[in-house]
């Protein structure tokens, strides 16, 4: 029986973590159908990463200078008592590790139930290292569009995001802005928005995201996209989406980071709006198995042990690898310091060792 040392124990942990992640990289595995078409996709938890996959992973990281993180479902699950939400185990530590690695980091969210300030305050209370100017959110982007095009909105949004629209002329509306209004999505409010749109000669509908649903602590919730589609259908128009997966939204985040699309990875729990949107913009993207993924695919996450759920969430596994890549600190996983120059070779050697030593599932 092979006696594992600390190094191999750490490698096994790393392998298990990577196994839990669904990776989407351009390149080797062309010909797949659906959103991942022409991309490399790790089979959804069916087997551990192959040597080729690990080598691809290592190679893909080499040119990466920045990360875009989705927030809901990746860092925390919203809802719960007093609407505060609950951090996803390991995510607070992961954000610290990513920041310590020296990579540029941007929080890219479609959150429209609060102003950016209130949103960041909540995340800080939960323990996250985050400040307002690190967040790209739809409401400020929508305000820029409204001013540039001299649009006066009728707002169908959450009460708590209204302060973002202070200073915007809302008299005699010539457009509708719809956000995740939650309980404000009453028949009356939807009908009021419909009447504004149908009465315009050139109806303009701005939607703060187009998600179908998201996960809160008590289950899945309908998102803004559902109501956007209702207004589109009623008025026979096409909404303009401000937020993920709109290309402009990702590009504005990249501009704020000062990097090119091929130098960035988007990490999210939504295969369409996080992963697909980022890929459309020329970025690489990773889907974590937390948030809505864990609800929609319970069969692929229920095997996690309690210990692994705490110590090995997907985002933490990414931060582990990024820490290796950038070598700005000694890793804290009982592992070893390593230089960036040898990172790729180390991962390849690790893959070989794991393949040889460990039996298949």
Question: Which residues form the interface with Mg ion (CB under 5 A)?
Answer: 70, 72-73, 269
If the CB atoms of residues 56 and 70 are measured against Mg ion, the closer one turns out to be 70
Work out how close the CB of 283 gets to Mg ion at its nearest, in angstroms, rounded to a whole number.
Answer: 16
User: Rounded to 5 degrees, what angle do the CA atoms 152, 244, 103 make?
Assistant: 125
If the CB atoms of residues 41 and 75 are measured against Mg ion, the closer one turns out to be 75
User: Rounded to 5 degrees, what angle do the CA atoms 282, 43, 39 make?
Assistant: 20
If the CB atoms of residues 10 and 92 are measured against Mg ion, the closer one turns out to be 92
The per-residue b/e assignment along 209-229, b for 16 or more CB within 10 angstroms, e otherwise, is bbbeebbbeeeeeebbbebbe
Work out how close the CB of 318 gets to Mg ion at its nearest, in angstroms, rounded to a whole number.
Answer: 15
Work out how close the CB of 291 gets to Mg ion at its nearest, in angstroms, rounded to a whole number.
Answer: 5
d(CA 137, CA 134): 10
If the CB atoms of residues 98 and 190 are measured against Mg ion, the closer one turns out to be 98
Bridge partners for 153 per DSSP: 175
Report the greatest alpha carbon distance in the chain: 78
Residue 195 phi/psi, 5° resolution?
A: -65, -35
Burial of 55 (0-12, 13-18, 19+ CB in 10 A): middle
d(CA 290, CA 276): 17
Q: Are 204 and 176 in contact (CB under 8 A)?
A: yes
If the CB atoms of residues 71 and 259 are measured against Mg ion, the closer one turns out to be 71
Work out how close the CB of 74 gets to Mg ion at its nearest, in angstroms, rounded to a whole number.
Answer: 6
Work out how close the CB of 273 gets to Mg ion at its nearest, in angstroms, rounded to a whole number.
Answer: 8
Q: Name the DSSP letter for residue 281.
A: T
If the CB atoms of residues 272 and 348 are measured against Mg ion, the closer one turns out to be 272
Work out how close the CB of 272 gets to Mg ion at its nearest, in angstroms, rounded to a whole number.
Answer: 11
Work out how close the CB of 341 gets to Mg ion at its nearest, in angstroms, rounded to a whole number.
Answer: 35
Find the residue with minimal CB distance to Mg ion.
73
Give the CA count within 13 Å in the CB-facing half-sphere of 117. 5
If the CB atoms of residues 134 and 269 are measured against Mg ion, the closer one turns out to be 269
- 28-31 LR contacts (CB < 8 Å, sep 24+): 28/52, 28/56
Work out how close the CB of 75 gets to Mg ion at its nearest, in angstroms, rounded to a whole number.
Answer: 9
d(CA 97, CA 100): 5
Residue 95 phi/psi, 5° resolution?
A: -60, -40
If the CB atoms of residues 70 and 164 are measured against Mg ion, the closer one turns out to be 70
Residue 176 phi/psi, 5° resolution?
A: -125, 135
Work out how close the CB of 1 gets to Mg ion at its nearest, in angstroms, rounded to a whole number.
Answer: 43
If the CB atoms of residues 155 and 271 are measured against Mg ion, the closer one turns out to be 271
d(CA 124, CA 350): 36
If the CB atoms of residues 49 and 73 are measured against Mg ion, the closer one turns out to be 73
Work out how close the CB of 211 gets to Mg ion at its nearest, in angstroms, rounded to a whole number.
Answer: 8
User: Rounded to 5 degrees, what angle do the CA atoms 230, 118, 213 make?
Assistant: 30
Nearest to 243 by CA among 190, 193, 191, 206: 206
């Amino acid at each position: 029986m092979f006696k594992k040392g600390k190094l191999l124990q750490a490698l096994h942990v790393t392998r298990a973590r990577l196994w839990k992640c669904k990776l989407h990289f351009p390149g080797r595995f062309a010909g797949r159908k659906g959103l991942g078409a022409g991309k490399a996709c790790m089979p959804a938890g069916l087997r551990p990463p192959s040597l080729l996959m690990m080598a691809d992973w290592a190679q893909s990281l080499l040119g990466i200078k920045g990360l875009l993180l989705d927030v809901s479902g990746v860092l925390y699950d919203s809802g719960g008592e007093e609407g505060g939400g609950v951090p996803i185990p390991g995510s607070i530590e992961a954000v610290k590790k990513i920041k310590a690695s020296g990579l540029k980091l941007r929080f890219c969210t479609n959150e429209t139930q609060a102003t950016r300030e209130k949103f960041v305050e909540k995340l800080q209370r939960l323990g996250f290292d985050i400040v307002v100017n690190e967040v790209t959110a739809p409401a400020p982007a929508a305000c820029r569009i409204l001013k540039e095009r001299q649009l006066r909105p009728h707002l169908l949004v959450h009460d708590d995001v209204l302060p973002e629209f202070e200073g915007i002329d809302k008299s005699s509306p010539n457009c509708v802005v719809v956000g995740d209004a939650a309980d404000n999505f009453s028949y009356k409010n939807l009908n009021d928005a419909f009447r504004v749109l149908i009465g315009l000669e050139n109806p303009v509908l701005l939607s703060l995201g187009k998600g179908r649903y998201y996960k809160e602590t008590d289950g899945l919730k309908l998102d803004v996209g559902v109501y956007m589609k209702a207004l589109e259908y009623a008025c026979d128009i096409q909404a303009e989406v401000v937020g993920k997966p709109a290309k402009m939204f990702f590009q504005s985040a990249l501009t704020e980071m000062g990097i090119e699309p091929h130098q960035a990875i988007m990490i999210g729990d939504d295969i369409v709006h996080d992963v697909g949107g980022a890929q459309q913009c020329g970025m690489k993207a990773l889907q974590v198995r937390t948030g809505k993924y864990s609800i929609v695919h319970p069969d692929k996450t229920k095997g996690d042990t309690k210990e692994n759920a705490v110590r090995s969430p997907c985002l933490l596994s990414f931060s582990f690898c990024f820490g290796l890549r950038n070598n700005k600190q000694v890793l804290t996983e009982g592992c070893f310091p390593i230089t960036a120059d040898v990172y790729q070779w180390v991962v390849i050697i690790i893959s070989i060792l794991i393949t040889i030593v460990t039996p298949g599932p």
